[in-house]
Amino acid sequence: MRRILNFIDGDYRDSARHFDDINPATGEKVAIVSEAGEADVADAVAAARAAMNGPWGDSTVEDRAALLHKVADGVIARLDDFVAAEMADTGKPLMPTKMGEIPRAAEQFRTFAEVGRMTPLESFETRLPDGGRAMNVAERTPKGVVAAICPWNLPFILMTWKVAPALICGNAVVVKPSEETPATAALLGEVMKAAGIPKGVYNVVHGFGPGSAGAFLTAHPDVDAITFTGETRTGEAIMKAAAVGIRDISLELGGKNAGILFADCDFEAAIRTEAMAAFFNCGQICLGNERLYVERAIYDRTVEAMTKAAKSFAPGDPMDKATRLGPLSSHGHRDKVLGYFKAARDAGAEVHAGGVIPDMPAPFDGGAWVEPTVWTGLAQKSVPVQEEVFGPVTHIMPFDDADEAIALANDSPYGLAGTIWTKDMSRAHHVASRRRVGALWVNSWMIRDLRTPFGGMKASGIGREGGAASLHFYSEIRNICTRL
Ligand code: NAD
């Protein structure tokens, strides 16, 4: 059986305890994972600190950018290994993993290398009362040891989204991948080593949250900053841990995003895109839409078209190039999603598509599959319309004017993202600026330029990452004032 080990101080290391890695497409065990104990986590943090005190701490952004490009090359050179590892952990279909997710993760190393190299800092010349001058120069220094706690839905992308900017800023990282998806973070250790990243700069500890590697890492006093992507409730626990010792924190949390469709929109494009926003990655995308508010004149057409689109996302063998829908990430997560299917039925939803487990042939009959699901008729305040399902679901509701649509879309504890569909650009801008979310797409969805700021409002998070915002989080900017 394949083993997935911790990566500490430049080498792979086993632990006393282990847990199983399950492929959710089949339910089969695919690997045995080392669960880092408190001492392993302490060793990883110590290795990171030692790296900061060594030549890495003295490196320039040019040095680090060159290394990050080598890491990107190394990921692409081993594309098939990363694709196989990610698919075994998640059950994701082949094509989006091979053509999208893994190359995109490699691209993040290149982009942040260039963002780091090219982003200038301010300087001010100051006139002094005695007629002399002083020069103020802002300088960027690393935060130090960064803990990166990562989720399972886009494991390699969301992990490298943290690691690449952390490294270009000169930090050392300790990554805690999700217990559901440990493989690609571990494999990246080989690439880091081959690329010449010094030992201790990139470390990986496996395990769970409370009482395990996640909590050991966030509580460790020698961690300088914590970056977390995951559920809002976990974010609250991590924020408490970060308060001890006043460590900086970046939280990318849950969402309950909404799309707004006006009757003048390009209907075909809207439906094609909103179907992706609801069902792509089996609905396990923080930026996906689980709510659609539709101008009454096109409501019936929208329900019909989204129902047809849901049925076109048929689940199938992830290795088949035509498969668009994989399973949910685990049986535990499927139980949660099935709970929302039941809650929707109990609350009087009309189920136009899905709401059930599909019949899958062997060996997929043991997997965590669900059918893409379309609901109507739920009350705005009902649980399935308010809570994040994180599955392939959409609830469609009519509205009569823009004010009503904005109020309904904003009626959520979350504020991550959303979409607006209209040909009237003035209206689009007006609606966009009144939405309480961190990212809005007009006549589109999920165009993610890595240079743009990304993050949520309300319960969807604190802080921004992406482009210069990432540099801001992963560095301390200090001012050096010299009397000339
Ligand atoms: P999760 O919160 O259950 O777990 C995320 C990570 O935190 C895992 O590595 C887990 O082991 C660890 N963890 C759990 N409890 C911990 C604790 N007390 N201390 C330290 N670590 C702990 O999230 P998930 O289920 O893996 O991911 C799905 C969630 O992530 C959804 O809510 C989704 O919306 C959100 N998400 C948000 C974004 C974003 O950018 N805003 C992106 C992707 C996913």
- What are the pLDDT digits (tens) for 202-231? 999 999 999 999 999 999 999 999 999 999
Q: How many CB atoms lie within 10 A of CB 30?
A: 18
pTM of the model: 0.96
Domains annotated on the chain, with CATH: 2-253+460-483 (3.40.605.10), 257-453 (3.40.309.10)
Residues whose CB falls within 8 Å of the CB of residue 315, separated by 6 or more in sequence, listed in order: 323, 325, 326, 327, 358, 360, 364, 369, 371
pLDDT at 41: 98
Report the helix count and the strand count for the chain, using DSSP H and E: 16, 23
pLDDT in tens, 336-354: 999 999 999 999 999 999 9
Query: What integer pLDDT is reported at residue 17 of this predicted model?
Result: 98
Which of 35, 252, 290, 465 does the annotation list as catalytic? 252
Q: Identify the band that residue 327 occupies on the pLDDT scale cut at 50, 70 and 90.
A: very high
pLDDT 10s digits, 259-279: 999 999 999 999 999 999 999
235 CA: nearest ligand 1 atom: 2
Helix (H, G, I), strand (E, B) or coil at 211: coil
27-53 pLDDT per residue, tens:
999 999 999 999 999 999 999 999 999
Report the half-sphere exposure of 399 (CA within 13 A, side-chain side): 21
Residues 6 or more apart whose Cβ sits within 8 Å of residue 168: 61, 64, 65, 68, 112, 113, 115, 116, 117, 471, 474
Question: What's the pLDDT score for residue 392?
Answer: 98
Q: Give ligand 1 pocket residues (Cβ under 6 A).
A: 149-153, 158, 176, 178-179, 208-210, 214-215, 218, 229-231, 234, 237-238, 252-255, 286, 388, 390, 416, 456, 460-461
At residue 35, the pLDDT reads 98
Asked about 150 being catalytic, the answer comes back as no
What residue type is assigned to position 217 of the chain?
Answer: L
Amino acid 156: pLDDT: 98
Question: Could you report the per-residue pLDDT of 167-200, keeping only the tens digit for each?
Answer: 999 999 999 999 999 999 999 999 999 999 999 9
The 10s digit of each residue's pLDDT in 453-480 is 999 999 999 999 999 999 999 999 999 9
Q: Are 262 and 421 in contact (CB under 8 A)?
A: yes
Write down the pLDDT at residue 427. Answer: 98
Q: What is the spatial distance between Cα 64 and Cα 60, in angstroms, rounded to a whole number?
A: 6
* Ligand 1 atom nearest to CA at 151: 26
pLDDT tens digit sequence for 396-450: 999 999 999 999 999 999 999 999 999 999 999 999 999 999 999 999 999 999 9
The residue count for the chain: 484
